[in-house]
């Protein structure tokens, strides 16, 4: 070594210069190495950041998806719709634990709520029923409602983050809907909401699912070194986690030796060759350490791949040419293909998209540095077409696109479920026929062409449903749907609007005569008996028809026209059809006006009672007085009950009217000078819509009239709808002590059978028979038979509508008990009746 330094020999000079040049080059090379090392390290860290962020996002997305799906199983549920969409039934929800404690104990939801714009209707907090509303715990109520209602448009649930009791939390929310009528949303739609607090334990577990460590929440706006950051919108906080920094590690382990190396080289310049030896040794060491760092990096990548295998969607990566470079193992599980088979092949060979070119789409993503979603198809190993959604993002390093990376979720089941929901929303669940929604679509599409729209109403359906049960009713509806389907062409449409209302739309109806023939055929077809295990039933049908050629209109108007025509057909005696005409509409409008006026008129005391006495057959002794209601109409004058009772019977008005009559009749009768009975007519509709036993008891109590002075006149139609229920009600009425009179006897369905079963005290022969007395012998024998029957069963028999002395004489001969009619007295005002009674009393006193 000394020889080399000391000796200025030309050879050693050359060697010295060579060594100097060599050392200089070495320094430059080392400096260059350092710079590129720094850049590599930076890239490594960036890639690690991006990868870990991608996995954190996947973890959150997966979590939200699970939460939404779970919530939907509760919100898109008929029972929940029945019990929670309106007034919340906490017995069903909490006590029966349908939407209750288990959601906390098993599923870990700290909050379960049902809300709408009026506030919270149902709340379970930490598994306990609570009366504190959601707003008490969070300020996000409005946002949740809005998101859930937006999501329902897509038949989805909403999810996101919020602050709950001061803590960041995850929520999922959806509008409560009925699967049988998914598009019918009550307004304001109630929303079911699940809240899960993001506590350290659950974050830790979430992190584990994607192999990231130290998941935590932070209020910081940007990431600290060595940590990833993902803002949780709505909660005011962000998710952070630990990120490996292979690049920084590399620098830390390599820069020091490099620095040493540089120093050594400088020394080498001073001490030449010996130091050169040391330097080379040092470089060797550096290289070994570099290799070690690289292998650390490789393990870190391997770890990510391992994570990818755990995710439920499969993960893919391509190079810049879009050739697959990586597929997670889930790929093989979900598609049946092997990973090896697809590596190095173009992505677009695997996935197919019919709206976009995948290759161009990915280039677009690279250019805009954005991430995107695309719905695609692929064929699985069995050759089956599957639906999927890919999420993709370009891998950009120092401004250069190095490839693409993304996930792929199989959505085949989701798509199928969506199609099913679509079907449900357009079809009636019972008959499978199109429903109102589909009908409207059909009519909108048909708007230009000519159609005939027929609205059907089944006659006699309700009694079948009531007496034979709902399953029998359902069977009838299904049979009707079947027959209608057989009668129509493919281009026509048969829809069920609900209940026993059907619509038939004829797409090419032809002339009115042709429609007439169709209606006749339809009525005949539906009239054919229907056999339901053991029973044979028969139904009829009334039809309202509108021809769009005559009255072109929007779908809802056309349906209304048909409804008006249907009303006409029913008025005309059922089992027939009527075409819409504007006059009908006028009649209907008049009817509606009258109904409104009656509703207002009852409380305004526009009703008045007239009384028609009923006499013993001697024609002198008053046995009872029948209350007959009149309406002093401000515009139309005094109206007979026939004008307004049928109207009232179509709605709840009959209950109001009936109760007014009951009270008024009892109060008047209480003040009569004679303790005769008062008879009150009761409509079958009252039995259906109200608790008549309670109504009668109330009227008696309020007026103080003894029960035995009240008689109720009931027609046998009351038994038609609900035989069992009617028997029960009438027995209860008898227990109150009132008398029951069967009105209009002889006009109903199967009177004799009923008479035996039901607790009637008397029967009233319909005036139709009485009035033909003396004209027709057969009617006289009917009257005689009824009188005999009454006698045999110990019932009082009354004849109503007695107009002539001859009729009275015949009834007297046949030993009818009581009579009523214009011959003896017309219905009169209460004042007049009282005077009649006073006169009767006076006569009594005169005649011992
Ligand atoms: P209804 O119960 O059969 O009442 C008898 C009807 O026959 C009464 O008509 C009465 O005025 C009439 N009438 C009585 N004697 C004769 C006669 O000799 N010849 C003829 N041609 N008619 C006679 P109104 O008052 O017009 O009542 C008609 C129907 O309206 C009643 O028939 C009853 O079904 C119903 N109605 C009357 N008031 C009430 C009520 O308060 N509640 C209910 N639900 N229905 C009532
Ligand atoms: Ca009557
Ligand atoms: Ca009658």
Report if residue 549 sits inside a domain: yes
Establish if 586 belongs to a structural domain: no
- CA distances in angstroms from 350 to 330, 378, 382, 392, 406, listed in the order given: 15, 6, 14, 15, 14
303 and 317 share a domain?
Answer: no
| Nearest listed ligand to the Cα of residue 679 | 2
The protein residue with its alpha carbon nearest to ligand 1, atom 42, reads 681
| Contact assessment for residue 244 and residue 225, using Cβ atoms and an 8 Å cutoff | no
**Residue 362 near residue 322 (C-beta atoms within 8 A):** yes
Q: Is residue 501 in contact with ligand 1, taking CB distance under 6 Å? A: no
Region of 510 on the Ramachandran plot (φ > 0 left; ψ -120 to 50 alpha; else beta):
left
Identify which ligand lies nearest to the alpha carbon of 827: 1
**Pocket lining: 568 vs ligand 1, CB cutoff 6 Å:** no
Last residue of a domain, one of 197, 214, 233: 197
Domain CATH code at residue 549: 3.30.70.270
Ligand 1 pocket, residue 798 CB under 6 Å: no
Domain containing 472 equals 430-580
Of the bound ligands, which one is closest to the alpha carbon of residue 748? 3
pLDDT at 125: 94
Probe residue for ligand 1, chosen from 612, 615, 681 as the CB with the greatest number of ligand atoms within 8 Å: 681
Is 26 near ligand 1, meaning CB less than 6 Å away? no
Indicate the SS3 state at residue 760. coil
Q: List, for the chain, all residue ranges whose pLDDT scores fall below the cut of 70.
A: 1-16, 182-188, 272-312, 421, 720-722, 747-754, 842-848
Of ligand 1's listed atoms, the one at least distance from the Cα of 661 is 41
Nearest to 57 by CA among 161, 207, 204: 207
The last residue of a domain, from among 265, 288, 308: 308
Q: Which of residues 392, 415, 438 is at a domain's end?
A: 415
Q: 146 and 162 in one domain? A: yes
For the domain that residue 679 is a member of, what is the CATH number? 3.20.20.450
Domain count, the chain: 5
Q: What three-state secondary structure class fits 492?
A: coil
* pLDDT at 7 (0 to 100): 46
- 802 C-alpha to ligand 1 centroid (Å): 13
Q: Could you tell me the pTM of the whole model?
A: 0.46
The answer to whether residue 170 sits within a structural domain is yes
The Å distance, Cα 715 to ligand 3 centre, comes to: 8
What are the C-alpha distances in Å from 324 to residues 86, 347, 361, 489, 497? 53, 6, 16, 53, 54
Residue 262 and residue 154 share a domain: no
The pairing of beta strand 796-799 with beta strand 818-819: parallel
Q: Decide: 821 in ligand 1 pocket, CB within 6 A.
A: yes
User: How remote is the CA of residue 698 from the centroid of ligand 1, in Å?
Assistant: 25
Judge whether 223 and 38 are in contact, CB under 8 Å. no
Q: Is residue 220 part of a domain?
A: no
Q: What is the pLDDT of residues 224-250, one digit of tens each?
A: 888 888 888 888 889 999 888 888 888
Check if 653 has its Cβ closer than 6 Å to any atom of ligand 1: no
Cα(628) to centroid(ligand 1), Å: 6
**Looking at the structure, do residues 408 and 480 belong to the same domain, yes or no?**
no
The two tokens of residue 811 are 């009834």
- Which H, E and C letters describe 417-461, residue by residue? HHHHHHHHHHECCCCCCECHHHHHHHHHHHCCCCCEEEEEEEECH
The pLDDT of residue 294 is 59
Q: How many CA atoms lie within 13 A of 570 on its CB side?
A: 14
Whether 689 is covered by a domain: the verdict is yes
Is 590 a member of any domain? Answer: no
Q: Kindly state if the Cβ of 684 falls inside 6 Å of ligand 1.
A: no
Same domain, 379 and 464: no
Nearest CA residue ID for atom 20, ligand 1: 801
Ligand 1 and 681: CB distance under 6 A? yes
| Structural tokens at position 32 | 């260059």
Looking at the structure, tell me whether residues 669 and 765 fall in a common domain: yes
Q: Answer yes or no: do 608 and 702 share one domain.
A: yes
Report how far residue 162's alpha carbon sits from residue 144's, in angstroms, rounded to the nearest whole number.
9
Interatomic CA distance for residues 741 and 745, integer angstroms: 10
Residue 669 shares a structural domain with residue 730? yes
Residue 790 maps to a domain: yes
CA of residue 523 to ligand 2 center, whole Å: 35
DSSP codes of every residue in 521-561? HHHHHHHS-EEETTEEE--EEEEEEEETTTS---HHHHHHH
* Residues 647 and 780 grouped into a single domain: yes
Q: Is 130 in the pocket of ligand 1 (CB under 6 A)?
A: no
- How far, in Å, from the CA of 558 to the mean position of ligand 1? 38
Cα-based angle 264, 266, 270 (whole degrees, multiple of 5): 105
CB 640 less than 6 A from any atom of ligand 1: yes
pLDDT at 1: 42
CA atoms within 13 A on the CB side of 456: 29
For a pocket test of ligand 1, which of 610, 641, 654 has the largest count of ligand atoms closer than 8 A to its C-beta?
Answer: 641
Q: Looking at ligand 1, which atom is closest to the CA of residue 744?
A: 3
- Taking residue 653's Cβ as centre, other Cβ atoms within 10 Å add up to 20
Q: Is 638 in the pocket of ligand 1 (CB under 6 A)?
A: no
Residues 302 and 318 in one domain: no
- Is residue 213 assigned to a domain? no
Please report, for the domain that includes residue 348, its CATH number: 3.30.450.20
In short, whether 613's Cβ falls inside 6 Å of ligand 1 is no
Residues 477 and 559 in one domain: yes
**What per-residue confidence (pLDDT) applies to 750?**
44
For ligand 1, say whether the CB of 646 is within 6 Å of any of its atoms: no
Claim to verify: residue 458 and residue 348 sit in the same structural domain: no
CA–CA dist 652, 659 (Å, integer): 11
Here the tokens at position 276 are: 């050169």
Q: Which residues of 331-341 are buried (b: 16+ CB within 10 A; e: fewer)?
A: bbebbebebee
Query: 807: Cβ–Cβ under 8 A, 6 or more apart, which residues?
Result: 770, 771, 773, 774, 799, 821, 823
681: CA distance to ligand 2 center in Å?
Answer: 5
**Sequence-distant (≥ 6) Cβ neighbours of residue 803 within 8 angstroms:** 771, 821, 822, 823
């Amino acid at each position: 070594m000394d020889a080399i330094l000391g000796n200025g020999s030309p050879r050693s000079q050359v060697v010295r210069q060579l060594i100097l040049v060599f050392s200089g080059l070495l320094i430059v090379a080392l400096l260059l190495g350092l710079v590129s090392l720094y850049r590599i390290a930076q890239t490594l860290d960036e890639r690690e950041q991006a990868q870990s962020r991608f996995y954190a996002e996947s973890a959150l997305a997966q979590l939200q998806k699970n939460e939404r799906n779970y919530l939907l199983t509760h919100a898109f549920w008929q029972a929940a719709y029945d019990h929670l969409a309106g007034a919340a039934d906490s017995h069903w929800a909490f006590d029966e634990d349908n939407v209750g404690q288990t959601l906390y104990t098993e599923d870990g939801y700290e909050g379960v709520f049902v809300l709408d714009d009026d506030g919270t209707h149902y709340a379970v907090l930490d598994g306990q029923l609570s009366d504190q509303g959601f707003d008490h715990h969070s300020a996000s109520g409005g946002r949740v409602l809005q998101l859930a209602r937006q999501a329902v448009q897509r038949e989805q649930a909403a999810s996101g983050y919020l602050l709950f009791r001061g803590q960041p939390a995850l929520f999922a929310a959806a509008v409560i809907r009925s699967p049988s009528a998914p598009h019918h949303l009550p307004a304001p739609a109630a929303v079911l909401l699940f809240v899960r607090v993001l506590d350290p334990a659950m974050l830790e577990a979430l992190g584990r699912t994607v192999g990231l460590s130290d998941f935590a929440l932070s209020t910081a706006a940007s990431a600290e070194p060595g940590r990833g950051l993902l803002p949780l919108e709505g909660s005011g906080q962000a998710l952070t986690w630990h990120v490996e920094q292979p690049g920084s590690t590399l620098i830390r382990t390599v820069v020091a030796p490099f620095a040493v190396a540089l120093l050594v080289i400088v020394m080498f310049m001073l001490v030449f060759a010996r130091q050169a030896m040391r330097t080379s040794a040092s470089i060797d060491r550096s290289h070994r350490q570099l290799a070690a760092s690289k292998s650390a990096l490789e393990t870190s990548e391997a770890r990510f791949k391992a994570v990818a295998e755990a995710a439920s969607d499969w993960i893919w990566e391509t190079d810049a040419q879009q050739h697959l470079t990586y597929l997670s193992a889930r790929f093989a599980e979900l598609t049946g293909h092997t990973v090896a088979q697809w590596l190095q092949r173009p992505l677009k060979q695997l996935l197919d998209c019919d709206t976009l070119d995948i290759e161009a789409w990915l280039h677009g993503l690279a250019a805009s540095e954005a991430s995107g979603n695309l719905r695609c198809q692929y064929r699985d190993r069995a050759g089956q077409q599957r639906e999927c959604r890919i999420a993709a993002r370009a891998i950009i390093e120092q401004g250069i696109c190095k490839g693409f990376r993304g996930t792929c979720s199989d959505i085949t089941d989701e798509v199928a479920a969506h199609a099913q929901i679509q079907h449900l929303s357009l079809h009636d669940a019972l008959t499978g026929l199109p429903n109102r929604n589909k009908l409207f679509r059909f009519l909108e599409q048909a708007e230009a062409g000519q159609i005939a729209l027929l609205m059907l109403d089944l006659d006699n359906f309700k009694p079948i449903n009531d007496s034979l049960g709902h399953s029998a009713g359902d069977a009838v509806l299904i049979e009707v749907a079947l027959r209608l389907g057989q009668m129509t062409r493919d281009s026509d449409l048969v829809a069920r609007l609900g209940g026993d209302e059907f619509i038939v739309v004829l797409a090419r109806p032809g002339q009115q005569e042709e429609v007439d023939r169709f209606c006749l055929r339809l009525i005949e077809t539906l009239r054919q008996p229907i056999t339901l295990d053991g029973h044979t039933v028969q139904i009829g049908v009334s039809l309202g028809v509108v021809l769009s050629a005559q009255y072109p209109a929007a779908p809802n108007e056309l349906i209304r026209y048909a409804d008006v025509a249907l009303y006409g057909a029913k008025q005309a005696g059922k089992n027939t059809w009527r075409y819409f005409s504007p006059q009908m509409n006028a009649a209907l409008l008049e009817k509606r006006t009258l109904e409104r006026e009656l509703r207002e008129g009852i409380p305004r005391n526009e009703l008045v009672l007239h009384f028609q006495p009923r006499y013993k057959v001697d024609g002198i002794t008053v046995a009872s007085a029948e209350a007959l209601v009149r309406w002093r109409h401000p515009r139309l004058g005094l109206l007979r009950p026939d004008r307004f009772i049928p109207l009232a019977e179509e709605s709840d008005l009959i209950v109001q009217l009936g109760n007014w009559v009951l009270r008024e009749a009892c109060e008047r009768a209480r003040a009569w000078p004679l303790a005769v009975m008062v008879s009150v007519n009761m409509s079958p509709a009252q039995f259906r819509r109200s608790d008549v036993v309670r109504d009668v008891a109330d009227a008696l109590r309020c007026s103080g009239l003894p029960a035995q002075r009240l008689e109720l006149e009931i027609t046998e139609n009351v038994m038609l709808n609900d035989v069992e229920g009617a028997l029960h009600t009438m027995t209860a009425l008898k227990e109150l002590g009132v008398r029951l009179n069967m009105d209009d006897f002889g006009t109903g369905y199967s009177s004799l059978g009923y008479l035996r079963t039901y607790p009637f005290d008397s029967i009233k022969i319909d005036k139709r028979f009485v009035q033909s007395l003396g004209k027709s012998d057969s009617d006289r024998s009917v009257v005689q038979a009824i009188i005999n029957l009454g006698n045999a069963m110990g019932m009082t028999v009354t004849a109503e509508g007695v107009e002539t002395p001859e009729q009275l004489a015949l009834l007297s001969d046949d030993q009818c008990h009581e009579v009523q009619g214009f011959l003896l007295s017309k219905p009169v005002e209460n004042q007049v009746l009282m005077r009649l009674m006073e006169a009767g009393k006076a006569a009594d006193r005169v005649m011992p």
